Amino acid sequence: MWLSKSIALRIEIEVLHIFVFLAYAIIVAEPTKLFENSDSSSAKSTDTGEPTSTKLKHIKSKSWEELRQQLLENNLSSDTFQKRTLGSLGERLIQRSRRSVLTLKPTNSRKAQLLSCKLLNYNLAIMDNGNVLGLKNQSSPYVLLDLERYDGSLATIQHPTSKRYIGMDSNGTVYSTTTFGDEVLFNYLTGNYPYIQFSSYKYKHNGKDMLIGLRADGQTKKGRKVSVTHKSSQFLMVATI
């Protein structure tokens, strides 16, 4: 009788061991196997061209904590996801803005000379080689410019023959180009009437406008070194027929 009870107890202990082993296999081994299988079955690619499944390689956790840690390492954080999403949204908005700039149509156009307020013997000119500077010769063909106005107090300055526009880059460098874009658009400022000023439509420096201005030698200044209070940025428009 006592022997039969001992055998029954031993059997129950062995069954309990088997149950614990199976429970461990279900809780740990099966999820690990599931993720290892997904490594070979998934074919979806990420934006870098690398299969998503490769991010789940060699997951061999022996505990839930290790498995959770590996899953966290294999997935993008929410911050990274938000940055990517907002970055792509910002890029779409920039592209849309560029497209809208390219469709702008002038509302007013006139031929004029831009005479410097500070350097009264200099006229703003666009040379054939692309240089933008001040010329003393007021009868030069390079000082006769097309001044086109757009909605929103925007303007472009173009040479009628070479078709070169005056532009300004992010460093405030004044240059000329035959390509119409947001860098050749300027804000048409009339706050110092009767003089006019031109500040970059696209760029600012430390939150301040960057303007076209001439140095004493007739060369253009860096836009970031010119403010609305500088007379070197003020021009008198002399219209021609």
pLDDT tens digits, residue range 144-202?
A: 999 999 988 999 999 999 999 999 999 999 999 999 999 999 999 999 889 999 999 99
Picking from 227, 229, 191, 188, the residue whose alpha carbon sits closest to that of residue 211 is 227
The overall pTM is greater than 0.85: no
Strands 145-150 and 154-158, sheet pairing: antiparallel
Within-domain flag for 228: yes
| Gap between the Cα atoms of 147 and 135, Å rounded | 18
Average pLDDT, the chain: 77
Q: SS3 of 208, please? A: strand
Name residue, tokens 């839930």: 64
Domain holding 207, by residue range, is: 111-239
Q: SS3 of 85, please? A: helix
Within-domain flag for 129: yes
Within-domain flag for 208: yes
160: Cα within 13 Å, side-chain hemisphere: 12
Within-domain flag for 131: yes
CA 166, 237, 216, 202 dihedral sign is: negative
Within-domain flag for 225: yes
Within-domain flag for 104: no
| Domain count along the chain | 1
Picking from 77, 86, 76, 118, the residue whose alpha carbon sits closest to that of residue 229 is 118
* pLDDT, tens digit (0-9, with 9 covering 90-100), for 2-44: 445 455 656 666 666 666 556 555 554 444 444 445 454 444 4
- Domain holding 157: CATH number? 2.80.10.50
Within-domain flag for 181: yes
